[in-house]
Chains A and B, each alone.
Chain A
């Protein structure tokens, strides 16, 4: 796999956070 700049995505939905 080639190097690419890492991307992050903050989860803002409380219900989605609770799923983890």
Chain B
């Protein structure tokens, strides 16, 4: 569970990179890599360390013309999975 006022940010040493060979985004951490799909990359593109979870949901709901309630659970689950991997913090 992540409150909507909380701000997610990638931890120091974690960054995204576009893999031109395979045509997909990856999230890199020291000696670790996670392949992202387009939706995951879109979420992280809005995760700038300034915008709150609520702000991220607003942007994505408009961008994808999708009900905010529908995407909220997916985004939170995604961010929590990165937090569990110690690649992201929420404050």
A interface residues with partner B (beta carbon < 8 Å): 1-11, 16-17, 20
B interface residues with partner A (beta carbon < 8 Å): 17, 19, 26-28, 31-40, 43, 60, 64, 66, 70-71, 74-75, 77-78, 81-82, 85
The residues of A that contact B19 with a CB separation of less than 8 Å are: 20
In the assembled complex, the Cα of A3 lies from the Cα of B63 at a distance in Å of 9
- B37 A11 Cβ-Cβ under 8 A: no
Partner of A9 from the list B34, B38, B60 (CB cut-off 8 Å) is B34
B19 to chain A, nearest CB (A): 7
In the assembled complex, the Cα of A4 lies from the Cα of B33 at a distance in Å of 22
- B33 A6 Cβ-Cβ under 8 A: no
